C-alpha cells in the first residue's frame, strides 16, 4: 500500500514537471507577446529591449526555463506581469474561492444525482421513469455556461432573488482571516455573512453542479438497475426487504464503484468549467483570474495557474482512487 | 430563564439564513442614495497607474482618475483644465518647462501634498527601471528645481504634446513619502492618492469599494460610497442594470442599449468617444496593394450603411484618423463611398470581380461591437470590385505582437484610442514609420510627419498635421472607418455626463 502511494506521488511529481515544461514552451511558441501589449507608441528599440529584460523575457528559451524551474523549486512562482504581485500569494488568495465553489457544486451534484438515481430506480417501469430520464437528458445536454446564462436571466432578472455577481456583498465587512469565506463565516457563526456568501454562490454552484448531477444519475441509475436483478438482491427481496432498503443497503454499495470513478473524472471537468462560469458571475476565483491572465499574456501567472490546475487534477484522481479502494475491497488488497 | 434546545437553535439559524437569502435582497439591489454602484466592464489588475499593462489600458483610467489626480485635468469634452498643476508652460527658448503646484491639497492619509511629490513622480516616471510604458515622454525631463510652488525642469527637446500627456496615460501624481515607506507591494495593498474617492475595500475580479474624500480640493463628491463591480461579461452587465443590482453600466450591445433605455426607471446616453475603428495597411504589401487598389478599397466601403445596419446608427463615419473632437480634425478631407470609382480604380490596376486580387484581412471578433460582422460586410463590398480578401480572426495579444514586429496581414482591423485628441497620438504614432505601432512605413510619409513632432508654432503644427491627413487620404495609406459611440445605461434618478475619453468617472454621475 505504502509503495503504491509513493509510486503515485513520484508519478504525480513527474507529471507536474512535464505539464510545467509543456506549458512553458507552448506559451512562448504561440503568438501573443506580453511585452508587445505594453510597448508605447514612442518606444525605441532600446526601450523595448529594456522592457523585455525587466520581465526576464530577453534570454533564450532554455535559460528562461532553467531560471523558472530553479525559482519554482525554491518556492518562487514569479511575479504576475499584469497584477504586479507574487503568483503564489495570488493563487493562495483566489484558490479558496474556487475550491469552495467546486466542492459545493460537487456536493449538490452528488446529492441531486444520488436522489434522482434512487428515485428513478424506485420508479422504474412507471410513468415517472421517462420523465426523470427526459429531465436528466436535458441537464446532460446543456453545458454549464448555458445554465449560467439561463440562471442569470431567471433568478437575476425575471425573479431577482439572487445576486448576480461577486462573492460577497461589497458593503459587508466581516474582516475574514482566511479566504474560505463560506467555511469561516459558518465556523464563526456569522450567519448574515454566511447567507450572503451562500446566496452569491447559489447560481454558479447550480450551473456547475447540474451537468455533473446528470452524469451521476445516468450512470448510477443504470448500475442500480443492473444490481437490482442480481441474485443477492433477489434473495434480500425474498427476505421481505423494502424496495428502498434493497437499493440503499444492497444494490448501492455495489453499484457506486464505477459511478465514483467517473464522478472523479467529471469533477476535474467541473473545475475546468469554473473558468467560464466564474467569468459570467464575476466570481473572484482562479478561473476568472485565468481568463484575464490569458488575455494579458501574463506568462508567470498562466504557468502558476496551470500547475495549480494540474495539482488539483492529480489530487482529485488520488482521492478518487482511495475512495474506490475503500468501497471495493478487491482493489484495497491489490 | 427559558433555555433553547440545540434543535431550536439550529432551526432558528436555518430560518435566519433562508430569510437573509431571500429577503436580504439588499445584497443585489444597489445603492441607497449615497451609494453609487457601477457594473464596470473590466477588472482592475493593479492600483499603480504608472507601471505595467493596466497603466496603458484606456478603460481603467476611469478608476485611476477617481483615486488619483493627474498633473493636468481634463473636462468631458477633452478640454484641459488645472489638475494638481494650476498653471504650466514652456520657457521662451522652449528648452525647459515650468509648473505651478496646487496648494491646500492633502493625500488620503492626511499628509500634505507638496511640489516634491510632483518632482518625485515625474522623476520616477522617467526612470526606465520602474517600467513606466510612457517613459519616453517623462524621460525627456531633468534637472528639476523647486522654488515655492513653482517647479522648473530642463527638457531634451520641445514636445508640443508634453502637457497633454500630463492628462493622459501614466500622468498621475503619487505620494513620495508614503510610496517610499510602503514600497510597491504595500502600495498595491493600500493605495493612497489625492483623488475624490479613497480606496476602502478591494477584491480582485469582484469589486472595488471607494469612500468619498471629505477634504477633496475639487469639492465634496456626490456620493458617500462608490462601488465598481467588475463584470466583464456583457450579458451579466445587462442583467445587473436590469435587475437593479447596479445603478450604471456601460459598453453593452446597442440592441440592449435601445431596449433598456426605453424601460421605465432606466435612462441612457450614447455619445462618441475618442476611440476609432480602422484598417491598417501593411506597407510591405505595397507591391500588390498599389495606390489604385488602396483607394479602391476605401471608396468601396459604405461606412454609413455599416453604422446604420450593424451598429444601429451608433457610430460616426470618419475619413482620417483624427475624429471630429480632435485638434487636427479637418471636415474637408473626404473619401466618399463610390463603388463605381472603386471598380474603375481596380480595373486600372488590372483586377475585376472575374479576375480578383486575392489578399488577407485580419480582425478581432467580439472585442469591439460587431467587429467581425463589420469586416464580413466590408469583404462583401470589396468582392464586388474585384478584391477578394480572406478573413483571419486574431486576438488582442497576437495583434500587438504582429503590429510591433511589422508582420500584420496586408489589411488588419483594429481600434485606436486617443483621449487627449492630439494629432501626434493619433495620426502621428499610427502612421510614422519609426513608431512600433505603425503598419505603413514609407519614407515619403515620414518626411512629412518628421518635422511636425517638434513644431513650436501651434497653428502651423495643426495645419501641418491636417496636410498629413490629407496626404494619407489621397494615397490611401490607411482605411479609417468609424468613431465609436459608447452606450451608458443608468437609473433614471441619476444624471450621467458622457466623457469623450470614454472614462466613466463617478464624478460625472450626479443625483438627478
Lowest mean pLDDT among A232-241, B88-97, B480-489: A232-241
- Which of the residue ranges A2-16, A224-238, A317-331, B309-323 would you say has the lowest mean pLDDT? A317-331
Given a cut of 80, is residue A179 above it in pLDDT? yes
B55, pLDDT greater than 50:
yes
Q: Say if the Cβ atoms of B13 and A167 lie within 8 Å.
A: no
Inter-chain CB proximity B27 and A84 less than 8 Å = no
Q: What is the largest CA-CA distance in chain A?
A: 88
CA distance A107 to chain B (A): 18
With 50 as the cut, is the pLDDT of residue B29 above it?
no
The grid coordinates of residue A259 equal 459511478
- Please state the rounded mean pLDDT for residues B365-371: 92
Q: Which of B53, B207, B430 sits opposite A170 (nearest CB)?
A: B207
Across the interface, of A83, A198, A288, the residue whose CB is closest to B45 is: A83
> Is the Cβ pair A163, B203 closer than 8 Å?
no
Model confidence at B56, pLDDT cuts 50, 70, 90, reads: confident
pLDDT surpassing 60 at residue B361: yes
ipTM of the complex: 0.84
Q: Which residues of B touch A198 (CB under 8 A)?
A: 17, 21
CATH of domain B1-68+195-264: 3.40.190.10
How many Å apart are CA A121 and CA A167, to the nearest integer? 38
Q: Which of A33, A35, A36 to mutate to test the interface with B (most CBs of B within 10 A)?
A: A36
Tell me B450's DSSP state. Answer: G
Give pLDDT, residue B26: 41
**Residue B394 scores a pLDDT above 80:** yes
Cβ pair A82:B437 closer than 8 A? no
Q: What pLDDT band is residue B232 in, cutting at 50, 70 and 90?
A: very high
A84:B188 CB<8 A: yes
Query: In the 8-state DSSP scheme, what is residue B451?
Result: G
| Residue of chain B minimizing CA distance to A166 | B206
Candidates B233, B367, B437, B453, partner chain A, best to mutate (most A CBs within 10 A)? B233
- Interface mutation target, options B10, B14, B200, B205, chain A, most CBs of A under 10 Å: B205
Mean pLDDT score across all residues of chain B: 93
Residues of A in contact with B228 (CB under 8 A): none
Q: What is the CA radius of gyration of chain A?
A: 24
B269-291: pLDDT as tens digits? 999 999 999 999 999 999 999 99
Chain B residues with beta carbon closer than 8 angstroms to that of A194: 17
Instruction: Check B13 against A153: CB less than 8 A apart.
Output: no
Distance from CA of B308 to the nearest CA of A (A): 29
Burial readout A220-248 (b: 16 or more C-beta within 10 A, e: otherwise): bbbbbeebbeeeebeebeeeebeeeebbe
Domain ranges of chain B: 1-68+195-264, 70-175, 272-486
* Integer angstrom CA distances of residue A12 from A310, A312, A322: 9, 11, 15
Min Cα–Cα distance to chain A from B157, Å? 14
- What is the tens place of the pLDDT at every residue in A36-72? 887 877 778 888 888 788 788 888 888 888 888 888 8
Give the pLDDT band of residue B15 (cuts 50, 70, 90). Answer: low
Query: Are the Cβ atoms of A85 and B188 closer than 8 angstroms?
Result: yes
CB B378 within 8 A of CB B392: no
Mutate to test the interface with B, among A87, A166, A167 (most CBs of B within 10 A): A166
Residue of A313, A101, A289 whose CA lies nearest to A207: A101
Q: Which of B20, B188, B205 shows the shortest C-beta gap to A289?
A: B205
CB contact under 8 A, B239 and A153: yes
The DSSP call for residue B204 is T
Q: How confident is the model at residue B14 (pLDDT cuts 50, 70, 90)?
A: low
Fold of B70-175: Dipeptide-binding Protein; domain 1 (3.90.76)
Contact A85 B185 (CB under 8 A): yes
Average pLDDT score over residue span A290-319: 90
Record: contact A167-B206, CB cut-off 8 A: yes
Rounded Cα–Cα distance for residues A187 and A213 (Å): 28
Given pLDDT bands bounded at 50, 70 and 90, which one contains residue A9? Answer: confident
Q: How confident is the model at residue B6 (pLDDT cuts 50, 70, 90)?
A: low
Report the CATH superfamily, name and number, of domain A87-333: MetI-like (1.10.3720.10)
With a cut of 60, say whether residue B31 has pLDDT above it: no
B128 and chain A in contact, CB less than 8 A: yes
Q: Which of A292, A46, A53, A304 is nearest to B57 (CA)?
A: A292
Question: Do B53 and A43 lie within an 8 Å CB cutoff?
Answer: no
* Helix, strand, or coil (residue B430): helix
CA–CA separation, B234 and B232 (whole Å) = 6
Helix, strand, or coil here: B284?
helix
Instruction: Give yes or no for B39 touching A (CB within 8 A).
Output: yes
The pLDDT tens digits for A193-248 are 999 999 999 999 999 999 999 999 999 999 999 988 889 888 988 888 888 898 98
**Residue B271 distance to chain A (closest CA, Å):** 27
pLDDT at B1 over 50: no
Where is average pLDDT lowest: A184-193, A264-273, B399-408, B411-420? A264-273
Chain B partners within 8 Å of A171 (Cβ): 35, 209, 225, 227
**pLDDT tens-digit map of A98-111:** 999 999 999 999 99
CA distance A262 to chain B (A): 32
Residues of A in contact with B207 (CB under 8 A): 166, 170
Distances (CA, A) of A120 to A114, A135, A222, A243, B409: 10, 11, 10, 12, 58
- Superfamily name and number for B272-486: Dipeptide-binding Protein; Domain 3 (3.10.105.10)
User: Among residues B371, B498, B510, which one has the least CA distance to residue B62?
Assistant: B498
CB atoms within 10 A of CB B5: 8
Q: How far is CA B436 from the centre of its chain?
A: 19
The residue-averaged pLDDT of A8-23 equals: 86
CA distance A86 to chain B (A): 9
| Contact state of B429 with A168 under an 8 Å Cβ cutoff | no
In which residue ranges of chain A is CATH 1.10.3720.10 found?
Answer: 87-333
Average pLDDT over residues B492-503: 96
Q: Averaged over B77-98, what is the pLDDT?
A: 97
Higher-confidence residue of B325 and A19: namely B325
Indicate whether B22 pLDDT > 50: no
User: How many beta-carbon pairs under 8 angstroms link A with B?
Assistant: 211
Residue B24 pLDDT greater than 50, yes or no: no
Taking only residues 374 to 413 of chain B, the set having a beta carbon closer than 8 angstroms to any beta carbon of chain A reads 394-398, 400-405
Scan residues 249-308 of B and list those with Cβ closer than 8 Å to A. Answer: none
Alpha helices in A228-298 (DSSP H): 231-238, 243-245, 252-280, 286-295
Ranking A308-317, B291-300, B388-397 by mean pLDDT, the lowest is A308-317
List all residues of chain B from 55 to 84 with a beta carbon under 8 Å from chain A.
56
Alpha-carbon distance of B321 to B423, in angstroms, equals 8
Question: Among A71-80, A103-112, A150-159, A255-264, which is the least confidently predicted range?
Answer: A255-264
Rounded to whole angstroms, how far apart are CA atoms B234 and B251?
Answer: 7
Supply B39's cell numbers. Answer: 457594473
pLDDT band at A259 (very low <50, low <70, confident <90, very high): confident
Query: Do residues B91 and B98 make contact, with C-beta atoms less than 8 angstroms apart?
Result: yes
pLDDT tens digits for range B164-221: 999 999 999 999 999 999 999 899 999 999 999 999 999 999 999 999 999 999 999 9
Q: Looking at residue B28, what is its pLDDT?
A: 42
* Cβ-based burial of A39 (10 A; exposed 0-12, middle 13-18, buried ≥19): buried
DSSP string, B319-373: SSSS-TTSTT--TT------HHHHHHHHHHTT--SSSPEEEEEEE-SSSSTTHHH
Q: Which of residues 129-168 of B touch A (CB under 8 A)?
A: 129, 131, 133-137
Contact between B192 and B127 (Cβ < 8 Å): no
A320: cell is 478518487
Amino acid at each position: 500500500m505504502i509503495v503504491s502511494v509513493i509510486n503515485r506521488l513520484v508519478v504525480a511529481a513527474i507529471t507536474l514537471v512535464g505539464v510545467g515544461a509543456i506549458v512553458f514552451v507552448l506559451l512562448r511558441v504561440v503568438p501573443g507577446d506580453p511585452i508587445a501589449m505594453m510597448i508605447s507608441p514612442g518606444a525605441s528599440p532600446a526601450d523595448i529591449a529594456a522592457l523585455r529584460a525587466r520581465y526576464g523575457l530577453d534570454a533564450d528559451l532554455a535559460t528562461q526555463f532553467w531560471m523558472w524551474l530553479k525559482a519554482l523549486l525554491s518556492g518562487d512562482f514569479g511575479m504576475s506581469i499584469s497584477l504586479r504581485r507574487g503568483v503564489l500569494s495570488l493563487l493562495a488568495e483566489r484558490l479558496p474561492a474556487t475550491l469552495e465553489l467546486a466542492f459545493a457544486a460537487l456536493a449538490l451534484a452528488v446529492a441531486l444525482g444520488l436522489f434522482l438515481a434512487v428515485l428513478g430506480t424506485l420508479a422504474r417501469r412507471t410513468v415517472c421513469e421517462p420523465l426523470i430520464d427526459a429531465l436528466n437528458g436535458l441537464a446532460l445536454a446543456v453545458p454549464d455556461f448555458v445554465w449560467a446564462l439561463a440562471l442569470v436571466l431567471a433568478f437575476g432578472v425575471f425573479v431577482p432573488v439572487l445576486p448576480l455577481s461577486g462573492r460577497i456583498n461589497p458593503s459587508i465587512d466581516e474582516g475574514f482571516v482566511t479566504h474560505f469565506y463560506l467555511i469561516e463565516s459558518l465556523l464563526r457563526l456569522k450567519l448574515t455573512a454566511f447567507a450572503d456568501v451562500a446566496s452569491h454562490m447559489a447560481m454558479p454552484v447550480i450551473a456547475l453542479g447540474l451537468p455533473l448531477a446528470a452524469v451521476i444519475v445516468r450512470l448510477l441509475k443504470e448500475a442500480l438497475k443492473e444490481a437490482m436483478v442480481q441474485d443477492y438482491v433477489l434473495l434480500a427481496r425474498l427476505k421481505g426487504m423494502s424496495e428502498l432498503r434493497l437499493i440503499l443497503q444492497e444494490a448501492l454499495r455495489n453499484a457506486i464503484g464505477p459511478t465514483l470513478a467517473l464522478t472523479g473524472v467529471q469533477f476535474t471537468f467541473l473545475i475546468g468549467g469554473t473558468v467560464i462560469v466564474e467569468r459570467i458571475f464575476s466570481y473572484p476565483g482562479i478561473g476568472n483570474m485565468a481568463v484575464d491572465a490569458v488575455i494579458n499574456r501574463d506568462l508567470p501567472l498562466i504557468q502558476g495557474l496551470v500547475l495549480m490546475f494540474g495539482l488539483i487534477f492529480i489530487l482529485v484522481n488520488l482521492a478518487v482512487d482511495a475512495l474506490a479502494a475503500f468501497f471495493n475491497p478487491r482493489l484495497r488488497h491489490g | 430563564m427559558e433555555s433553547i434546545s440545540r434543535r431550536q437553535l439550529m432551526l432558528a439559524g436555518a430560518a435566519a439564513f433562508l430569510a437573509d437569502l431571500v429577503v436580504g435582497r439588499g445584497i443585489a439591489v444597489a445603492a441607497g442614495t449615497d451609494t453609487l454602484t457601477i457594473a464596470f466592464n473590466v477588472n482592475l489588475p493593479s492600483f499603480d497607474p504608472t507601471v505595467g499593462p493596466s497603466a496603458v489600458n484606456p478603460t481603467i483610467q476611469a478608476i485611476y482618475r477617481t483615486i488619483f489626480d493627474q498633473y493636468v485635468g481634463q473636462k468631458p469634452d477633452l478640454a484641459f483644465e488645472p489638475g494638481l498643476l494650476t498653471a504650466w508652460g514652456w520657457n521662451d527658448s522652449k528648452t525647459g518647462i515650468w509648473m505651478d503646484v496646487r496648494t491646500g491639497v492633502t493625500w488620503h492619509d492626511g499628509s500634505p501634498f507638496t511640489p516634491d511629490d510632483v518632482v518625485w513622480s515625474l522623476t520616477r516616471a522617467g526612470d526606465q527601471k520602474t517600467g513606466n510604458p510612457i517613459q519616453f515622454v517623462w524621460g525627456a525631463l531633468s534637472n528639476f528645481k523647486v522654488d515655492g510652488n513653482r517647479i522648473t525642469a530642463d527638457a531634451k527637446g520641445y514636445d508640443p504634446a508634453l502637457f497633454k500627456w500630463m492628462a493622459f496615460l501614466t500622468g498621475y501624481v503619487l505620494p513620495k513619502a508614503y510610496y517610499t515607506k510602503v514600497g510597491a507591494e504595500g502600495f498595491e495593498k493600500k493605495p493612497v492618492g489625492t483623488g475624490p474617492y479613497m480606496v476602502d475595500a478591494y477584491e480582485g475580479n469582484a469589486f472595488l469599494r471607494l469612500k468619498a474624500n471629505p477634504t477633496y480640493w475639487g469639492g465634496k463628491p456626490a456620493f458617500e460610497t462608490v462601488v465598481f463591480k467588475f463584470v466583464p461579461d456583457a450579458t451579466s452587465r445587462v442583467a445587473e442594470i436590469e435587475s437593479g443590482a447596479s445603478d450604471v453600466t456601460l459598453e453593452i450591445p446597442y440592441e440592449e442599449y435601445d431596449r433598456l433605455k426605453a424601460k421605465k426607471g432606466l435612462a441612457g446616453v450614447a455619445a462618441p468617444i475618442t476611440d476609432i475603428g480602422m484598417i491598417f495597411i501593411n506597407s510591405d504589401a505595397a507591391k500588390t496593394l498599389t495606390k489604385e487598389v488602396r483607394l479602391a478599397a476605401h471608396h468601396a466601403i459604405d461606412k454609413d450603411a455599416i453604422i446604420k445596419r450593424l451598429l444601429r446608427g451608433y457610430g460616426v463615419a470618419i475619413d482620417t484618423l483624427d475624429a471630429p473632437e480632435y485638434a487636427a480634425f479637418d471636415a474637408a478631407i473626404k473619401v466618399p463611398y463610390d463603388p463605381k470609382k472603386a471598380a474603375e480604380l481596380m480595373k486600372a490596376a488590372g483586377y475585376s470581380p472575374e479576375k480578383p486580387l486575392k489578399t488577407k484581412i485580419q480582425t478581432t471578433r467580439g472585442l469591439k461591437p460587431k467587429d467581425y460582422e463589420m469586416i464580413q460586410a466590408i469583404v462583401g463590398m470589396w468582392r464586388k470590385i474585384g478584391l477578394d480578401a480572406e478573413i483571419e480572426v486574431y486576438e488582442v495579444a497576437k495583434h500587438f505582437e504582429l503590429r510591433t514586429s511589422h508582420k500584420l496581414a496586408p489589411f488588419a482591423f483594429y481600434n485606436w484610442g486617443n483621449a487627449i485628441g492630439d494629432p501626434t497620438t493619433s495620426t502621428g504614432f499610427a502612421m510614422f514609420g519609426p513608431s512600433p505601432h505603425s503598419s505603413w512605413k514609407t519614407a515619403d510619409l515620414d518626411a512629412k510627419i518628421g518635422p511636425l513632432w517638434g513644431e513650436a508654432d501651434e497653428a502651423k503644427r495643426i495645419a501641418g498635421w491636417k496636410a498629413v491627413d490629407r496626404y494619407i487620404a489621397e494615397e490611401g495609406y490607411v482605411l479609417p472607418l468609424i468613431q465609436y459611440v459608447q452606450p451608458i445605461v443608468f437609473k433614471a434618478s441619476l444624471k450621467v455626463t458622457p466623457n469623450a475619453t470614454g472614462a466613466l468617472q463617478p464624478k460625472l454621475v450626479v443625483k438627478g
